[in-house]
Structure 1
Amino acid sequence: MSVWDDIVGQEPVVKQLRTLAEGDESELAQSWLICGPPGSGRSNMAKAFAAALESPDHGLSDEPTKTTKQVLAGTHPDVRIVSTDKVTIGIDEVRELVATCEQMPSTAPWRIIIIEDVDRMLERTTNVLLKQIEEPSPRTIWLLCAPSAQDVLPTIRSRTRILNLGVPSNEAVQKFLERNDGIDSRTAARAARLAEGHIGVARMYARDSQVLADRDELIVGVLNLRKASQAVLLADSLNASAKAQAESAVNEQAKKDQLEFRRVNGLKPDERIPADLRGAYNAVAKKADLKRRVTRLTRDVLDRALNSIASIYRDVSVLQNDAEDSVGLVNLENRTAIAELSVQLDREGAVQRMDAIATARRRLAGNGNALLVFEALFCALIA
């Protein structure tokens, strides 16, 4: 299976990068900015491109090479993947990257550095990168990822070759879920529709019935908003649900990390940790790190909730403009309630509520109190 097979709905970009990976390296840019909305697969695109550049078969063999497997798993010595569970990427980490990129690759043709969320760098941190991005070391390639070019400082944009990814179609996401995850067609179709082109969210909806049930409850709650007391209760319920989802996911990942630590060090699942390994073992799931991960993931869950809420007013606008036959509805299961809301609200009212959602998103991004942000939002949404 080719490294490109897991890239969903991005055929023009795949064709471009595949040609470059297989062609004359003198035509290859060394600084890239891969842009795409959440769920478009920009990080996966960066990893696939890296694997195609590093592997002797350019990632095309039916049986992946050792190099391809290492790159996609994030374990190749010449490919560094930077992601963060913090709000921003720290300046010390970037300085370390700059020092690393000046070294020649050890086993592969290129030293490749992938930064998954370059938009999470503060300006002073980004400035550390500028010279390297503008004049990369001879055998170094930078693959920077961000939601859009506008989310990155102009000084970075102007020094990179920009690739823009689109939103995968529902059909493409559905087929991906059926082929790669073995999801039945009905479940895959619904998950793809509700995720609105976000591959990761579609997978979550298809695999986790509780996450899907939480979304259904949120949609019904918003459609039934009639008074401020309901808005307050719904905000409290949403925040509690988001925190519970985040804690569950973080604790599950911590357990996996601890089991992997035991495996790597030749320890059985129930074997006592030797004294000389205890410090390293405890660092795998340090409380401060777990708390930070929960905070970050809670924010991600709430951001996903805003997308779900926005889909209601997107559907309202579709009905108000008689466009259902051409673009369809996201929340088909709630069509009756949405049709009633499209009559209660005029077009300006629908737009005002979309603006209120955008305001809530900005407040969350500015570290506003999540409970107060959603209380204010839900009060603004009352029809």
Structure 2
Amino acid sequence: MTPPEPRRSRVVVVGAGFAGASLIRSLPPSLRRPGQTLLVDQETEWDFIPLIHEVAVGRVHPDSVRSSIPALCRGRCDFLRASVEGISPETRTLHTSAGPVEYEYLVLAAGSRPTPPPAEMADSFGLFWSLGDALSLRSALDEAWRDSVRGDEAEGTLTVTLVGGGATGVELAAEIASLFDYLKKRTPRPPAREPRVVLLEATDRLLGWLDPYFHEVALRELRELGVEVRLNTPVTGADGDGVSAGDERIPARARVWTAGVHAAPLNGSLDAETDGSGRAALDGYLTLPDHPEIYVPGDAGVYTDPDHGPLPPTASVAVQQGPWIARDLDRRTRGRERRPFSYFDRGYVVSLGPESAVAEAAGAKFSGPKAQALYRSIFLYYLRGRRARLLTGADWSMERTIGRLGFDTTGRLADRR
């Protein structure tokens, strides 16, 4: 058998996440012509991961956070659905499940993956990284609630233990605590045991990479919601019935690991310097120092800003890098003078349940409903397409009238023996 004839494209983009999609939307006209730009992704739908914690508690419908990758490419670039198996920088070839792809410029926007629990605990925790993870957790929470309302008094039936006090762990803990409060108010029969949400963090701070203000507000508001926050508490063991942290044993039916991320394995195909989480070190143009034709934006690369130091793996960084790369490609392909990447700190916002958040924006720090309004406006802006914005906005506005998706509060299920 003869090997397949390689595809050729001037610019190849791997990954339709925040960095890749923002680049595709910002392509100059010269790179929007057929054969100029190719987007490679192993899926045909992209999930808006920053809102999956709201899917897990029934506040947002899963279809509201899905968008079509081929629709993103329409009129902008070609699309190849395939998984990437390796890279040969010396021949400028990307190896995919659909055959080799030759490129002039390569943009590796493959993103990151969740850092898994230690091997001996891996089977005892669920990860929280995808829409599928959110739906699995939603089903588990609904089942645990129904069992407890039916009279299941087993210790830990309504206990959720989350490991990791970063943004994912903090936002998910706040949402689950709010969910339990919602269910208690709307279910005719009380649960056999009081619900518990336990957040375990190995260090002395929540949201450790942000200003201490975020930790202070998050700690206060989580405790007001009833979340048991345990700082300086590394996990020492886990099984199908609970978690051990220090000298304490916490019976818990639901156990979720939200501790950290690392770069996608694709970086292993490159002979590049990486940091502790596998992110490739970049030069001032977001490219590999030894391969200036390869850009690595978003979570897969680490750019050290002169004023802010190494930039964190966040969506707010990725959506600045994608459009900048599009402009830099335009300059390079037209032989114009290039300018180094310049990062603008727009601030950060972390949700603390349906009614509150904590934020820093334009030099101001604030929390409460105003911060929650900012949080929602930002994510409505970054959702892809008018349909997703309308659906998500409708989900938020109708929550009080239609209830939580995936949770029954009528009591009918509780009456079945």
Coarse TM-score class (shorter-chain normalised) = under 0.3
TM-score (norm 1): 0.24
Larger relative strand fraction: 2
Larger relative helix fraction: 1
RCO (CA 8 Å, sep 6+): is it higher in 1 or 2?
2
